[in-house]
Amino acid sequence: MHRRLIAPGALAAVLLLAIPASAATPSPGAPGIGDPYYPSYGNGGYDVSHYDLRLTYRPATDELQGTATLLARTTQDLSRFDLDFLLDVSEVRVNGVKADFTTSGEHELVVTPKTPLAKGTAVTVVVRYSGVPSAKSAYGFTTWHRTSDGAVAADEPEAAWWWFPSNDHPSDKATYDVSVAVPDGTQVISNGTLQSTSSRLGWTRWNWRETKPQATYLATLAVGKFDITTHTSEGGVPVVNAYSRGLGDNDGAARASVERTGELVDWLSGYFGPYPFDSAGGYVPDTTTGYALETQTRVYYSPKQFANGSNTSVVVHELAHQWYGDSVSLKGWKDIWLNEGFARYAQWLWSEHEGEGTTRELADYVYASHPAGDPFWTVKPGDPGPDHQFDAAVYDRGALAVQALREAVGDDAFFRILKGWPQEHAYGNASVADFQKYAEQVSGKPLAALFDTWLFQPSRPSAPAARAASLTTAPAAPARPRSWKKIEATNGVHGTHGTHDAHGTHDAHGTHDAHGTHDAHGTHAD
């Protein structure tokens, strides 16, 4: 052993250097996770791994009481941290010790633990709360939907604030246990699998569990009087569907569509690989909204999706999201093309399967329907901005980009990409840049120019860029494919005439606008 003599001054310097960085002064976690589209959404300083929600809900008065237990780990030395939440909080505990709390801004619950938390610490946060969700709003809107016999929480990009405290951004995914007590005779629908029900003193408690990571906006809660159906797909996927008893004239068409979920999950598995979750299904409450949402394993459908009859196309769209959007979630909201472009393309594949128009015919029709001066082409699907995040161009131009990729790399590579991508990033998050890199890796072709042309240029690509051979020889006005009306019906709320900004809303004309309310006149598929 060799010893070195160190002068006193040098020793002090060494000791200072030896102090770990974590011993630095703890600082507050950021009140936003850093997404430029929604600067105040999500929070910094920690990562949640599990939500345990134990709730009691009274449909007649819309009163919700709850205890939320969050399991998390700190990502910095924390003096305090934020949760996204709107209801009234009575107590917060951090690692079993009461913490101070206050509110800030439109939807921030600010928690100050009794002692600071070192980076890398496992943290258990318990929040006791109550309130009337329909009485709460942020940025002038609400995403909590009252129904004749209960309520529904399902919206994008935000819905959690009205029923549980969270780190509300898709980049922080977690598993869930959702336990809700309601009056006997009322049902509760949520994500994953139903673990059990139990009744006592006029109340029934429903216990749902989602064991795969789930983004907060994909967590859903529906309380009401439902007819619940269960079966198993030919491929072995358990299916749970639920229909409000108040659907009226839309009941038959809703069932004729949603009851095909098992068949469609199996069909999509042929393109996207094994279904990524433990159950599938959907529910149709008696809301007046006009949209559908890919809430994980249990899709939300508005009755208006079926006002003109059955529509398997919208079911295909939402089920495609289970791979593209739910299992593989976006890193940031600018990556929305990875969700909507591929879910729309799944509808095109279904159209071809049904003999109602091939993917090429649909691509030709969409391309020809929007001349060079159409504002449609000014939307950049690869980074549309919050005002156009759910514009029809993200869906339709987004699907055109998928078709352009197929033409560029050939069917063999294309379908390997389509199936391999959800497995490459299963249960994680990814960006458009990640997808381009993966597509280049699988195809062996440089694709930067193609991605730039179709996803990032605010102009109409030339016909050769759209497809070197076909579009240049296609008729000036291609015939409208038979499937188009049903595909277009899933635009509605996220349509071409409206915008969506940082406050996440839907207006009366079927588009996302700045006020976050859902009107009865639009339809869309998120």
In single-letter form, the type of residue at position 195 comes to: Q
The secondary structure of residue 305, as a DSSP letter, is G
3-state SS, residue 72: strand
Residue 165 half-sphere exposure, CB side, CA atoms within 13 Å?
31
Say yes or no to pLDDT of 383 above 60: yes
In single-letter form, the type of residue at position 127 comes to: V
pLDDT at 484: 86
The secondary structure of residue 334, as a DSSP letter, is G
* Strands lying side by side in the sheet with 100-104: 81-84, 108-112, 100-104
Assign 488 a pLDDT band (cuts: 50, 70, 90): confident
Measured CA to CA, the distance from residue 57 to residue 373 in angstroms comes to 52
How far is CA 75 from its chain centroid? Answer: 24
pLDDT at 525: 54
pLDDT at 526: 60
100 touches 67 (CB < 8 A): no
3-state SS, residue 230: strand
pLDDT at 70: 99
3-state SS, residue 352: helix
Assign 502 a pLDDT band (cuts: 50, 70, 90): very low
Provide the token pair at 468.
């070197």
Q: Work out the end-to-end distance of the chain between its first and last CA atoms, rounded to an integer number of angstroms.
A: 67
Measured CA to CA, the distance from residue 101 to residue 320 in angstroms comes to 41
Provide the token pair at 410.
């050939």
Say yes or no to pLDDT of 11 above 90: no
- Say if strands 329-330 and 429-430 run parallel, antiparallel, or are unpaired: parallel
Q: Which whole number is the average pLDDT over 219-226?
A: 98
Say yes or no to pLDDT of 30 above 60: yes
208 compared with 505, residue with greater pLDDT = 208
Q: Which whole number is the average pLDDT over 27-37?
A: 98
> Residue holding tokens 């709730």?
55
Provide the token pair at 339.
């969700």
Work out the burial of residue 102: count CB atoms within 10 Å of its CB; fewer than 13 is exposed, 13-18 middle, 19 or more buried.
Answer: exposed
- Burial string for 153-187 (b: 16+ CB within 10 Å, else e) reads bbbbbbbbbbbbbbbbbbbbbbbbbbbbbbeeebb
Q: Which whole number is the average pLDDT over 375-387?
A: 97
pLDDT at 477: 75
pLDDT at 465: 53
> Residue holding tokens 């209801």?
87
Q: What percent of the chain has a predicted confidence (pLDDT) above 90?
A: 84
Measured CA to CA, the distance from residue 368 to residue 366 in angstroms comes to 6
Beta-ladder partners of 145 = 152
Q: Is it true that the peptide bond before 8 is cis, omega within 30 degrees of 0?
A: no
279 touches 193 (CB < 8 A): yes
Write down the mean pLDDT value for the chain: 89
Q: What percent of the chain has a predicted confidence (pLDDT) above 70?
A: 87
pLDDT at 486: 85
pLDDT, tens digit (0-9, with 9 covering 90-100), for 417-463: 999 999 999 999 999 999 999 999 999 999 999 999 999 999 999 97
423 touches 438 (CB < 8 A): no
In single-letter form, the type of residue at position 317 comes to: H
Main-chain phi, psi angles of 306, to 5 degrees: -120, 20
336 touches 353 (CB < 8 A): no
* 524 sits in which H/E element: strand 524-525
Nearest CA-CA partner of 402 in 432, 428, 422: 432
In this prediction the pTM is: 0.89
In single-letter form, the type of residue at position 376 comes to: F
Residues 6+ apart with CB under 8 A from 509: 495, 497, 498, 519, 521, 522
Assign 261 a pLDDT band (cuts: 50, 70, 90): very high
Residue 509: other Cβ atoms inside 10 A: 15
Task: Indicate the range of 24-28, 39-43, 420-424, 436-440 predicted with least confidence.
Answer: 24-28
* Strands lying side by side in the sheet with 187-190: 144-147, 150-153, 221-224, 187-190
Say yes or no to pLDDT of 168 above 50: yes
Measured CA to CA, the distance from residue 194 to residue 230 in angstroms comes to 11
pLDDT at 23: 58
pLDDT at 464: 58
In single-letter form, the type of residue at position 151 comes to: A
> Residue holding tokens 């208006």?
304
